[in-house]
Structure 1
């Protein structure tokens, strides 16, 4: 049978939505009390009436009076009622004051969620949907602040316990709160404690070193000492991380012996820096571990490469190093490699651990995890870190931590606990800014791709190509496309020579480096070349010659083998003949000229060739640079404001009408929001090699160098270390 719901009951149901479950329960209990009182009043009235009055018949209904039917009783219910009464059985009286739980009365309601996160070094926010009673509670907190734009409440860290306990005690029935991890909270609270004076701290450091410090470098040493020698100095390249590290290490010299782990290419620069900044340390106290046959004895300072450390970890574990410095610590970004495991084993036995890097995270927050573990023995598990800061997701092959979330809190936590990072723009106002330029190579000089390259391009566009296979094909395409630009790059280098200006030119593939060297030899230019086959012992000699000799005009460098540890401020022009897919590698290479000691503004030129791998690498660089900036790890790599130059047949000139759109690069710009050895290479001199081969190591002609199979690159292993995710989102539709 169908019943119509009265209008007043519909209104009552709508009204229920305006109240919280607690208020509705209170009103329901009040209504039950009133109902019980009315029933009691009827009983009292019936008892006071006479029997005759109780049997008074009901007057007959008038014909003009409408009949009101409230409900009809079903036949089966009526028969059951008559049967019970005829037999003298009366139904039991139902208690009207039975309490019903709100969850049963209203049904189950999903709890609202509140999330807490740090937004500054002293304040945290609570993100939650609007709730009247919760807002009233927030207003009772003395340090409350409401962000009108974000519509979120935030409080001082001192009131964290009051906020969390208040929510859990008063609103536990319908609010679930996600608090800030204890290790994060403790880091910010410790940062609020009073610190010792700078003068008292620096008094224990070598006076020679102190006299050479700049103000921001003094602050870096103080920071490291206050962190008990367990921190990361992540200043931008060229700001003197080495001198700061030696200052911190010298303060804790009672904990020596000191171990310095560094890339093999720059290990001799550390001994030079120790001689310059710490003359109080005798020369015989410094030892270079260069062979597996070497023995560790009573040396105060040991310098070793990452590879030798991992291959001879048992030797180093036998000697207790109290202070360990990891230079270029981003080399330890993967927690699964043997290199990182060896570093962790050495660091676990040391009292002080210092990390140095200009690029703390090359691509994503997960790369910071293994580095932080070196500094904090009681660090959290990787799953907890991945869920909080890497947007951990469960996949078919396990957990994926390649994303990013809560990046603002991560940045603040690192600065409050272990990290200090300064940019050139913040601390060196007297240092000239660098100007980036984009040079579009002459399309007429870009050779047509071979049939093999066209097959590669078609294969890269296949949707079924994924993972390692896609990665490998892209590397092959990268190598083969380098040959297309040889003529254009050679012509541009010739134009630069005519200006008689010192410059640095970077490339990645051997064929491009050989082509540049060939042009320089033919034009009688003295130059140096440093690539992966140049020994570490000779690098300093080459750098000194370039810096001190006016006759040495050009430095030909490998992007991956010579992008760190070199100071080449004698040149103010840096040219990249090829792109590389990691902006951190490129900014490190730029910093070879743009660093302390540079007296001129630095021009950075990137040579771009349409119809080559640049079509892929260009948007990839912009995407990575934008990602790192949002994560608070800005590499100061932006090409969206770069000047555009066009390579002409005679001389590159400014073209005010041409734009990147002309060459098909509009999408990359508009979408961007701002990203051991053989015979040593000698200094090339046209006086001694006018008619000689381009590469004296192999004694082959430039033509033979171009024709030979260059495989993928001289650093193929390094390229394969790049994560596959770097290539998953590349747009391959534009390859021709």
Structure 2
């Protein structure tokens, strides 16, 4: 199976940039002193053998090739050499053919011409990328900051690369903007299970897009998207411009997606490529091979993880870092191949090669608001919710037949049970989201209301050494836990929603605030946010509201007035008046009534 790097077709006709640079000119084979042959991919006894080039002839050519190509095998007489036909090797092959006249065997002509054509298209497309990134086709609804525009240009210029910005810098938006500018469909987005809802929410938020449906008229000119969660592989699934699937079931959908003609594959949390020899890896490799573009996204700095990083880069762009042996010799600590000895130098190399682009928040601080609120859609545990909500349903129904006092008591208890069931059902996905922040080494405050939820988070995040300030600790224990967080002994502190008042000093480290559960009062959230967003804060603060479609979340998030993504200026940032507080209380009562009606309608 030949692995070719296939730069994307340009969204508009490529302008004529005149004469090609010297390294891309077609080589002259007059007076050839060597011959190039092509050995197609085939199955070996133990594993598949990738396609290779074979050079035969002058020892000068063979010696030069031996020095240039990772994993090359030359004959003892140095008259023949075999090396991988990776697209990553083509520029070096062309350099040899520019220096020495090399004849191309008839059997190799088609493969060589294909890689040569793609090399030219890649060069011309890189020249076009800045204007292509700026030229929307009218379906992108967002506004990109300058550094995000740079990220879009990077993706458009590099058909197989990784965008590794810090969490919160908008990798999702940049990927969607690049796909819209590229205009090659369908696109498949592969994500972790707990963030599939995030993508399903962001697609219509930033693109003029609607869900693909059979037998319905679609908005002319709008894109369509399909959420493959919970669906069976079936040819009757409506065609879509964007398919969203998660890693755990990708193997079942790979053939379907390839048959649908996928052009672009976007791999969220691309570190899923790090393990070889798995069914998931095989599915990923098949999808990469079939796609013209393979873009990886990751907020985790993985380029110091040695062999894991090789596996990730090799998954997105086969052969771009050479063979495992050469990679270890060049980049890894000889005592431990899992560790890159000079991660900064390696990161600079990846950037210079157009393989990876990484921006830290501190790098683009001037372009960021001091505080940004974002709603992150997460999935809840339906089984857990269904079991725990039963008590809330029972109480809500019984309350209708009680006197005023008993009715009020049971309705309040029903609401408490419904909130707790919602929070507990969200806890696993919330912990997975928080883990991604902590793996990126970002100090984070986590707010939740119920002890049951606190305990679930503490257990799931145990490997990060979390501390808590939840109302169950003594004053001395609270102060001790606060100091552990402030001194950098841990990057995660779990707090009760209403235990944040009066706690100072957390802003000196905190970069993220995460709300796993919500309060009825917007002012409580404003106070919690202020633990991080206050005098002494040197970073942008990202505030994440983790919302599911279960239980009390839909009503409570609308009560809080948090929009999908908003900068500083809402939720009491300018100071709430007494009138605002009265309106908030009235609105809260309306939302509580809506939740009770919802509970009474459940069986």
Q: Where on the TM-score scale, by shorter chain, does this alignment land: which range?
A: 0.3 to 0.5
Larger radius of gyration: 1
TM-score (norm 2): 0.45
